[in-house]
Each structure stands twice: as C-alpha cells, then as structure tokens.
C-alpha cells in the first residue's frame, strides 16, 4: 500500500460489527511486543469486546482488512483517561496511520470526558512524538492515576516486575499527560507552562551560529528537571 492508499483507510469509533477483529488485534499486539523486545500489556478477548461494545475504541480498516486499533480507559472515577493499546498492522506502519488513530482517540476522549486528564505509558518513540504533538508532556508516575486497577493492567507486560520493584515509581515506559486545564489557562490569559521543545526553540541561536557552552548546559539542565 502506497502513501496514497492511506486516504482509503476508514478510521472510526468501533462498534459491534468489529468484534470479529479482536483475535487479529491481540495477535498483532503480541507480535509487536515480541518484535520490540519491550512490554505491551495484553488484554483479554472479553475486555476488548467490552470496549468495542461501549463505544470506547477506535479501529482502522482497509476494505474490511484490519489496519489499526486503540481503546479508551477511564480511571479515578473519570478524572483520568488513557488512550491505550495503540497498534498498527505491520504493512501499514511508517505511513502516518498511528498518528491518525491516536488523534481520533484523543478527540473522542476529549468529547466524552472534557474535564479529564488524558495520559499514557509508552516505550515507543513514535508514540511519544505523536503525544507531544497532541499536547501531552512527560511526567513522573506520581502525576498519573493512583487507581490500583490501572496499574494491575500492567501485569500483562513482560516488564511488570520492574514496576513492582520500584513501587510504581518508574519502569521502562515513559509517562505522558495532557491536562485540559492548560488550555483553559491559556484562554484566560494565564501563563502556559511551555514544553521542553518550546524552550529549546526559543533559546536556539540565530544566524547559523553554533550553540554556546552556556546554552548547552542550560538545555541539559532542562532535560534533568
């Protein structure tokens, strides 16, 4: 499939008619986990079926063929929302489909839960980049939900023992968060907390000059915050 073919892929809120895709979704997740050598939490057939029936999943299909998937979870009595299980079939990777699915899930989450903080855990650089473009910021695990049910869901990951040994303070995943309050503060004229890339671009030398040692040290210190 070429880049042009991406426009033919249907990305929509999953419904009962998509239940037959569940086995393919789970197999694609398992294959991706083995390929990366990093953890992707697995979910049961019943769990994904419930998400699909409840309208809390996004699916991408190409003429009836599975292309990608993502689902929505709520935690802490709806105060936190996670867009989880983002997966794209191998033949559709590297074409921008993951970004489209993630954005659709993000928009669907904002509509269903307008005041909830949206967060995610990932080991994938591509997902981190997509999250950043949507307004997510890297955070420590302490800023995510403390709902035990969420963290128990990580038990299907091969790195779960690391999470337990660190008392849920760190793992191989990076925690990322979007807080709708940031947008409200921006609209009210309050100072918005800038992302790291905002700061780096602001400090970047002009006229093609090389970074000064002072600026390099400053940027390095920001990465450590």
Q: Same structural domain for residues 7 and 70?
A: yes
Q: Same structural domain for residues 10 and 38?
A: yes
What pLDDT was estimated at residue 53?
Answer: 97
Tell me the CATH number at 15: 3.40.630.30
Q: Alpha-carbon distance 158 to 162, whole Å? A: 9
What pLDDT was estimated at residue 89?
Answer: 96
Residues 76-89: tens digit of each pLDDT = 989 999 998 899 99
Q: Same structural domain for residues 95 and 199?
A: no
Q: What is the dihedral of CA 112, 118, 124, 127, to 10 degrees?
A: 60
Q: Same structural domain for residues 94 and 180?
A: yes
Number of domains in the chain: 2
Q: Same structural domain for residues 171 and 96?
A: yes
Residues 27-46: tens digit of each pLDDT = 998 888 788 766 566 789 99
Q: Alpha-carbon distance 133 to 17, whole Å? A: 32
Q: Same structural domain for residues 209 and 121?
A: no
What pLDDT was estimated at residue 105?
Answer: 96
Q: Same structural domain for residues 124 and 187?
A: yes
What pLDDT was estimated at residue 6?
Answer: 82
Calculate the CA 95 to chain-centre distance: 17
Residues 154-178: tens digit of each pLDDT = 887 888 999 999 999 999 999 999 9
Q: Same structural domain for residues 223 and 133?
A: no
| pLDDT < 50 stretches in the chain | 2-4, 191, 199-200, 203, 210-225
What pLDDT was estimated at residue 220?
Answer: 42
Q: Alpha-carbon distance 76 to 144, whole Å? A: 10
Q: Same structural domain for residues 154 and 213?
A: no
What pLDDT was estimated at residue 154?
Answer: 87
Q: Same structural domain for residues 116 and 210?
A: no
Tell how many helices (H) and how many strands (E) occur in the chain.
9, 7
Range of 78's domain? Answer: 3-193
What pLDDT was estimated at residue 201?
Answer: 54
Bridge partners of 69, per DSSP, are: 59, 87
Q: Same structural domain for residues 188 and 219?
A: no
Backbone angles phi, psi at 61, to 5 degrees: -135, 155
Q: Same structural domain for residues 220 and 187?
A: no
């Amino acid at each position: 499939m070429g880049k042009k073919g991406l426009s033919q892929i249907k990305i929509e809120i999953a419904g009962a008619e998509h239940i037959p895709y569940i086995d393919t979704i789970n197999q694609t997740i398992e294959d991706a986990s083995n390929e990366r050598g990093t953890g992707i939490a697995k979910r049961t057939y019943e769990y994904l079926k419930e998400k699909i029936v409840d309208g809390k999943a996004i699916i991408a299909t190409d003429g009836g063929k599975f292309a990608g998937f993502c689902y929505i979870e709520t935690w802490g009595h709806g105060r936190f929302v996670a867009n989880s299980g983002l997966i794209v079939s191998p033949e559709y990777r590297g074409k921008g489909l993951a970004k489209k699915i993630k954005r659709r899930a993000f928009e669907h989450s904002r509509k269903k839960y307008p005041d909830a903080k949206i967060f995610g855990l990932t080991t994938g650089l591509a997902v981190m980049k997509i999250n950043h473009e949507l307004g997510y910021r890297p955070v420590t695990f302490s800023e995510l939900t403390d709902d035990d049910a969420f963290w128990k869901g990580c038990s299907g990951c091969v790195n779960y023992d690391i999470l337990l040994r660190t008392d849920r303070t760190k793992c191989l995943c990076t925690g990322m968060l979007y807080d709708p309050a940031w947008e409200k503060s921006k609209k009210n004229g309050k100072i918005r907390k800038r992302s790291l890339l905002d700061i780096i671009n602001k400090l970047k030398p002009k006229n093609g000059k090389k970074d000064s040692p002072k600026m390099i040290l400053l940027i390095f210190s920001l990465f450590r915050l």
